[in-house]
Amino acid sequence: MKLTLLATAALALAPLSASAAAAPTSPVGTWEVALSGADQGTAYVTFEDDHDFTAYGLSRESLGLFTLSGTWTIDGAGQLTGSYTETINGGAVTGTLTAKLAAKSITGSIAATNGNFTFKAKPETVTQNLAGSWSGISAVGKNRLPEIYQITPSALAHVYQIEGSGISPLGGQYSILGTVLAGANGKVELVAFSLDAWGAPGFSTLTGNVSVTRKQNVLKGNHSSGTPIKITLRR
């Protein structure tokens, strides 16, 4: 009798357990996306319940924020699929995505006119406030250039504008303008343009982990000249 009751209880509970473990059927909400493959970067993607989605982010190949918009659906196999148009560096590219939904993640791949990508997404979280005055030493090749920056929030969540200046031993003072994107766990993406004392333009793309409470932070990347660049930051 006891065995019969236990078996009946187990059968009754089994559907509930399977249902609880089932993957979610909708991605609606905002997600932080780590992008890799033909390009690398970070984006924030918002899926709407009307099956539209929008995004913005920074990548190694973007000279500022890229934006995109598209549509999504869940196919017969339970996969997230979608298509989009992206604006990047003044041009437009198109792509399609296929992804797997889990309770706290989305993982998938993208085929686009600018390459093939993979991505991992997690729910959007509160990121640290990077606003304020910062100083740094920019190491470009053998040159060590002192710089100062003022970082201010933009109208977009997690996005900041950077203005500053530096001193070159050969060219004197130069100006700096750029964009910063903050991610979870201190992750930072940055693209900055500089104009030296002779008016020659250049830009740098950098990434790293930053803490506003840490005495020293390091971002690494590349200058448009092809030279590796490292910036040591202090707040």
pLDDT at 2: 39
Report pLDDT for 41. Answer: 96
Give me the domain span that covers residue 168.
132-234
Asked if pLDDT for residue 16 goes beyond 50, the answer is no
Same domain, 95 and 138: no
3 pLDDT band (50/70/90 cuts)?
very low
Domain membership of residue 4 (yes or no) is no
Are residues 119 and 144 located together in one domain of the fold?
no
Determine the longest span between alpha carbons in the chain, in angstroms: 92
Claim to verify: residue 176 and residue 229 sit in the same structural domain? yes
Based on the fold, state whether residues 153 and 87 are members of the same structural domain: no
Instruction: Tell me, yes or no, whether 65 and 117 share the same domain.
Output: yes
User: Is residue 118 in some structural domain?
Assistant: yes
**What was the pLDDT predicted at 10?**
40
**What global pTM score does this model have?**
0.87
Q: Of 228, 225, 224, which Cα lies nearest the Cα of 203? A: 224
Q: What distance in Å separates the CA atoms of residue 153 and residue 85, rounded to the nearest whole number?
A: 26
pLDDT of 12 reads 42
Residue 99 in any domain: the answer is yes
Alpha carbon separation from 212 to 84, 142, 170, 196 (Å, rounded): 35, 28, 32, 28
Domains in the chain: how many in total? 2
User: What pLDDT, on the 0 to 100 scale, is given for residue 139?
Assistant: 92
Question: Do the domain assignments include residue 10?
Answer: no
For the stretch 80-115, pLDDT in tens is 999 999 999 999 999 999 999 998 999 999 999 999
146 and 204 share one domain: yes
Strand partners, 166: 147, 174
175-218 pLDDT per residue, tens? 999 999 999 999 999 999 987 655 567 899 999 999 999 999 99
pLDDT of residue 108: 97
Residue 203 sits in a domain whose CATH number is: 2.40.128.120
CA 5 vs CA 13, 14, 109, 139: distances in Å: 12, 14, 47, 73
In a domain, 17, yes or no: no
List the single range of 7-21, 34-48, 167-181 with lowest mean pLDDT: 7-21
Mean pLDDT computed over 37-66: 96
- Shortest CA distance to 163 belongs to which of 133, 185, 138? 133
- Regarding whether 229 and 136 lie in a shared domain, the answer is yes
